[in-house]
Chains A and B, each alone.
Chain A
């Protein structure tokens, strides 16, 4: 062979550590050129600008003025920022485990050999393709406080349950206030109630988990059947099989969905923006919404960039934590 190829292998079948050919270096960079340029223009440049602006007073109308740490110090005293940060943490803490459990549960159910399996799969997957704006509009109608279908269907259920509970309470000798409160049990006004808006947004996140379900389903289908048979022979019940076969075998997929969930929960925007605009009483003001309103609506680019930097730092920290913890519980086969 007079001419070497870039793919030369030695006898053992491994690639030899032969020097990179000049032509390959050129071709490699040429093929990667779009992304090399993309990294420079759409990643490094904006990241650099965000770092710089986060130390500046900048409104886009005048050139930025260096103000040092002022934006970051300002965040410490910004009540709305604190609210947005806490709301986002609450959302993440509630929605991450809820999403993982619900999608894994649905995947397990959808993996059962029953009739209509394909139909169930389609139905559960479909909403994840619905634009979140449309999802917000539809659910806004369903949860409308006086004409909404949800309250209409829930009212008689709550009324009956409340009546029964009230009877039980008065029999047990509870105070009159408790009894009347139970008798008047009715659906809340959902998004108009500052105590209910956040739980509703968290719950509605479950409507769009179809893709997570499909990923789990693919993971479940990859678990060799012999493992379950062996576990069954050893006398393992359904729960033990879940605990000792399914979960460990699925741990890489769980980990993947966890990382996606961490990143996703810090960019919640569409649903609350459409449904509540952050209200009532800032109870659904999320981090990304506050960054958006500070930057795009009030043109306070400095604080907005400082918040973006804090956001990036938190995400990287949480992701690093997840990777660190993964050593203990993720089993790669």
Chain B
């Protein structure tokens, strides 16, 4: 690649970088200013003095935005959803990949077809199902279904299980290992990276989910961070952007930290999803 070309690539990527990271920087920047400075025109670029006690402190202790409560609600749901997804999806994936039984082809087709159905199509009738189960107003609709297996994750894990040589499970079988034993002692340890991908994706999807909590949570004390943030925004009516940006920063931060801790898992996971 010639030097001139390299500079052009740099230029294009720098422009893109401004678009992608600029808003996040401006969010943090605004969140460090006092209200007056945040709304100043022309804008103040560097906050002086830094007003953490006036923004973050205020947000954390605001009665309208009980951050610790919402963070706890969100965390519990995300952890349960991740645990359920890993456990059930790997069981089902093992059945679809490694056990011969009548009907597994049909089940696989049904599962692939169901991946074409987006959530908004089912949200209303699901609301009725959950209402009959008495789950509306609780967090159950947001994590309990994960314990029944998630099609996307089942498919992902099935593809991983298919790559594990048959001789391995055959040998274990001859040694008297049951299917459960093969799943537990061979498949799970061998596919730990794939399980990490599932756990991570399930966690992030659940953390970022908005429509689900909006439909199924009825009481403010059960809100998750995303619904709470929307609620906070609509209540603050477009004023005090410094507080709003501080709240947004706090909502985004855990996901960003998680990303930097598990960057490889993220990228490997996404890369495999598009390649079958």
List the interface of chain A (C-beta within 8 A of B). Answer: 5-7, 9, 20-21, 24-25, 27-32, 34-39, 41-43, 45-47, 49-50, 53, 60, 106, 109-110, 112-114, 116, 120, 122-127, 129-134, 136-142, 144, 146-147, 149, 152, 206-207, 210-211, 214-219, 222, 252-253, 256-257, 263-264, 266-267, 269-270, 273-274, 287-288, 291-292, 295-296, 301, 304-305, 308, 311-312, 315-316, 319
* Given the contacts A123-B17, A130-B255, A131-B210, A308 and B248 also touching, CB distance less than 8 Å: no
Q: List 30 A-B contacts (CB under 8 A).
A: A20-B102, A28-B99, A29-B101, A32-B91, A34-B92, A42-B126, A42-B148, A46-B122, A46-B125, A47-B122, A53-B125, A113-B1, A120-B17, A124-B16, A126-B259, A127-B21, A137-B233, A137-B247, A139-B23, A141-B244, A141-B245, A147-B39, A149-B43, A218-B271, A218-B275, A252-B276, A256-B276, A295-B123, A296-B127, A305-B125
- Assembly CA distance A37 to B141 (angstroms): 15
Most-contacted residue by chain A among B99, B103, B147 (CB, 10 A): B99
Interface residues of B in 112-156 (CB under 8 A from A): 114, 116-129, 131, 145, 147-149, 151, 154
- The reply to whether A50 and B99 contact each other, CB–CB distance below 8 Å, is no
Cα A46 to Cα B94 in complex, Å, equals 27
Top 6 closest pairs, chain A to chain B, by CB: A38-B148, A28-B101, A218-B271, A215-B274, A31-B95, A46-B125
Chain A hits for B238, CB < 8 A: 144
Interface residues in B205-254 (C-beta closer than 8 Å to A): 207-208, 210-211, 214-215, 225-227, 229-230, 233, 238, 241, 244-245, 247-248, 251-252
Q: A308-B121, A312-B121 are in contact. Are A253 and B274 (CB under 8 A)?
A: yes
C-alpha spacing A121/B104, complex, angstroms: 40
B interface SS class: helix
| Known contacts A41-B129, A252-B276; 19 further A-B pairs (Cβ under 8 A) | A5-B170, A7-B170, A24-B99, A114-B10, A120-B16, A122-B263, A127-B24, A129-B255, A138-B24, A141-B27, A214-B270, A215-B270, A218-B271, A267-B119, A287-B120, A291-B120, A291-B124, A292-B120, A301-B124
Q: Which residues of B sit under 8 angstroms from A129, Cβ to Cβ?
A: 204, 208, 255-256, 259
Say how far A55's CB is from chain B's closest CB, in angstroms: 13
B30 on the A face (CB < 8 A)? yes
B64 at the interface (CB under 8 A from A): no
Point out the residue from B43, B122, B174 that lies within 8 Å of A5, measured CB to CB: B174
Instruction: Report yes or no: A141 in contact with B92, Cβ–Cβ below 8 A.
Output: no
Least Cβ–Cβ distance between A288 and chain B, in angstroms:
4
Interface size class of B (residues with CB under 8 A): 35 or more
Partner of A46, one of B129, B214, B226, B244: B129
Partner of A127, one of B20, B166, B225: B20
In the assembly, what is the distance between CA of A64 and CA of B83, in Å? 37
Tell me, rounded to whole Å, the shortest Cβ–Cβ distance linking A298 to chain B: 12
Report the Cα distance A141→B145, complex, angstroms: 36
